[in-house]
Structure 1
């Protein structure tokens, strides 16, 4: 079993999709080889839920971040080697017959297949030599990558590859050597070549992720066993937001709920998405947008941020919200250790029902101390009620500072429950009432004031 996040959660956090604008997968899409991209896709699809495995992978990424090496191949040239090695070989007789036939056709009909085969074998020899050099240039001694280095060195030390270094730089091979090398590379040492290719794919991912971490100044989270039941992220921010403000979030068994309030545009949704993304990436062993993070592994992550209605099913927005909360409740009731993010519960119904539902649902969820929750709402009275009889909540808000009639947002998490009520001020600043009453000039003036801030 791996760490789980369902489709709704992945879409809320904009995690999957290398070709999708501003997705987290695209942020890390720096692999050079097709195999490396496929391997990274697999990591995004199946995060880990074992602390030792997470820390092992994370330590390799961190090692390459510090090493600062470049991937020793281009995608185009490695594609030649990758396609050649995967095209299959055959017995020595089959390989010899095929090469001789291609040679004959080259002479008799100026066919290009013999020349192409020769080029593929020479390219593969060149890239294997380049990987050999890379392996032997790495620092000796114990490191998170040392086991893989030793595996590669062992493969290159195989007597069947004793000819490899001598053929470095070859551009054209005579027929007998071509037959011999083609047979060894695609048949005689097929398993060894597959192993080396997989090592190169992994190296591609290590260097790609490490490069993103270095450029973005991301850090690496430390995974703790599940029973520690803690999560701390310092200087946490959204990885796709430039010049983002960092915040500190801490959850533990004795305080497993963060109750978040604040005005619209104060940054609540962005903070919650930042948190969810960091949790997901941390379970992948990937770097996170924070100055420091450590966490107990969880079973999964669920969010309710952008829950759509479903006209085909006849679901209103409110009913879709209810079904989403029901899904999460079933997972929590199944005794799973989860991270749950609820942004503006029950905003699709009237204020009285939203108050009652948010209060009862939040209080009921919070009783499961093995799960961590971040719950936001505009209904600040819910927080006042929860604070009176719940001792496992951290009440926080994102402030709005008024510069005259103009709101300014600090994006800095503050202890307590907001008292900000600037909705009507913003409406008045936009001149909506003036527009309705025919005063469009006043609206334009107010917009000019806001845009200058």
Structure 2
């Protein structure tokens, strides 16, 4: 799958749009280090390009989850900070090769640059301890031939370093030996040291995700390879909602249907449902489990969204024009032979109802003829369903709202069919807006 547009990452709440907004990143970001957390954010922004890559990522996470206690690190953050500061410091190293030269250099540091002497000693100690801890923690799996593909690549990086570095990492530091150890770690093998730390932070990121998955009831999706695409889930929930609020839904869209027309009143759950479908599809293409009991889907080239649109003041685009641009991008992707999964919330709501109906009708007429892609479109325009009642490429789903003693009761449960419920006036009365207006 191609990388998502920035607006889609925000619309689906994969990444927060602003500080404090809940997102999938908040859920998964259980890494121990700041660099590990940054790696998780990068991972969430980079979908995998092929099905084999997805399957390899799934195996990696399953392996780490099963061996989390043996793989996760517990290195004091103070040591990590000191090690990085020393590795990046401007404190000069010296290639003194003989014992006498190292002894003379250590005396110079100790007598004429005491501050640098202790900086060198403490930084080298921290770097030595961090690398030594990584070596000890990974020793059991570095030579294993049962590792997932990505861990095998990491194991090679670690072997290339620790096979040469072990004497240096176990050397007892004194004013002479620290000169030699520092030269080894910060100059001679500095690239290998940085590669080892990069592996450490990647492992920390995956361990952080695994920590979340230990308590989340998520499932690894199954990918199917069929001529026509499919998307099927059971007990799918929006992960950002609390367990007490989230409602599980079963849903399937597959041949001969290509397009779902989703109707329902305000606050019935249409937008949340579309977002949940988008999250399942996207997380699956990251090689991650998804917030559902089961999920079966096809590999898609593009996930595209038209949710929570707003006018673009910078570009001078209106809401309606922005919608048109999004649909044009979908058309261009399909024309280029890409398999698209489209989520469109309240299609063409940026114009008046009659205009929206005519525009939506023409767009849907074309979309339902496109094999190889799937389209989920929500709308308040219930009359939009009539032209497609006998079209086998269109299925109808809805979220109904019950009225109990004048109060709205939302089930947030998806059903088959079209609902013509109009809840706006009831919500107007329920929120007592008119009472406030009458007091003006």
Residue 14 of structure 1: CA displacement?
Answer: 2.7
> In the aligned structure 1, how far is the partner of 2:327 from the partner of 2:306?
8
Counterpart position of 2:400: 399
Mapping of residues 177-216 of structure 1, within 5 Å:
177-216=177-216
Residue 209 of structure 1: CA displacement?
Answer: 0.9
1:102 and 1:302, CA in 2 relative to 1: closer, same or farther beyond 3 A? farther
Counterpart position of 1:443: none
Of 274, 277, 282 in structure 2, the residue corresponding to residue 275 of structure 1 is 277
Mapping of residues 316-335 of structure 1, within 5 Å:
316-335=318-337
Contact 1:209 1:286 in 2 (8 A): no
Counterpart position of 2:361: 359
CA displacement, residues 106-161 of structure 1 (integer Å, 9 cap, x when unaligned): 3345x221112122222222222222222235696624265257426633652x33
How many residues align structurally? Answer: 431
Mapping of residues 367-446 of structure 1, within 5 Å:
367-388=369-390, 390-434=391-435
Counterpart position of 2:6: 7
Of 143, 147, 150 in structure 1, the residue corresponding to residue 152 of structure 2 is 147
1:405 and 1:103, CA in 2 relative to 1: closer, same or farther beyond 3 A? farther
> In the aligned structure 1, how far is the partner of 2:427 from the partner of 2:54?
46
Helix, strand or coil at the partner of 2:176 = helix
1:311 and 1:146, CA in 2 relative to 1: closer, same or farther beyond 3 A? closer
> In the aligned structure 1, how far is the partner of 2:265 from the partner of 2:165?
67
Contact 1:229 1:370 in 2 (8 A): yes
Residue 84 of structure 1: CA displacement?
Answer: 3.2
Segment of structure 1 superposing worse, 357-366 or 49-58: 357-366
> In the aligned structure 2, how far is the partner of 1:123 from the partner of 1:397?
60
> In the aligned structure 2, how far is the partner of 1:95 from the partner of 1:321?
71
**Match status 1:288 vs 2:287:** no
1:121 and 1:235, CA in 2 relative to 1: closer, same or farther beyond 3 A? same
> In the aligned structure 1, how far is the partner of 2:161 from the partner of 2:323?
58
> In the aligned structure 2, how far is the partner of 1:287 from the partner of 1:219?
5
1:133 and 1:334, CA in 2 relative to 1: closer, same or farther beyond 3 A? same
Counterpart position of 2:73: 71
> In the aligned structure 2, how far is the partner of 1:186 from the partner of 1:207?
28
Counterpart position of 1:16: 15
Mapping of residues 148-167 of structure 1, within 5 Å:
148=153, 150-151=155-156, 154-155=159-160, 158=163, 160-164=164-168, 166-167=170-171
> In the aligned structure 2, how far is the partner of 1:375 from the partner of 1:358?
10
CA displacement, residues 228-285 of structure 1 (integer Å, 9 cap, x when unaligned): 7322222221111002111123233422222211111011111111111222222122
Residue 56 of structure 1: CA displacement?
Answer: 0.9
State the TM-score, normalizing by the size of structure 1: 0.85
Counterpart position of 1:135: 138
Residue ranges of structure 2 left out of the alignment (5+ in a row): none
RMSD across aligned positions (CA)? 3.0
Helix, strand or coil at the partner of 1:290 = coil
Counterpart position of 2:128: 125
> In the aligned structure 1, how far is the partner of 2:223 from the partner of 2:116?
53
Segment of structure 1 superposing worse, 337-346 or 143-152: 143-152
Mapping of residues 211-222 of structure 1, within 5 Å:
211-222=211-222
State the TM-score, normalizing by the size of structure 2: 0.87
Runs of 4+ in 1 over 6 A off after TM superposition: 88-91, 94-99
Contact 1:30 1:208 in 2 (8 A): yes
CA displacement, residues 143-201 of structure 1 (integer Å, 9 cap, x when unaligned): 4265257426633652x33425644xx5xx12332122222222333343233222212
1:222 and 1:198, CA in 2 relative to 1: closer, same or farther beyond 3 A? farther
Residue 50 of structure 1: CA displacement?
Answer: 0.6
> In the aligned structure 2, how far is the partner of 1:391 from the partner of 1:228?
14
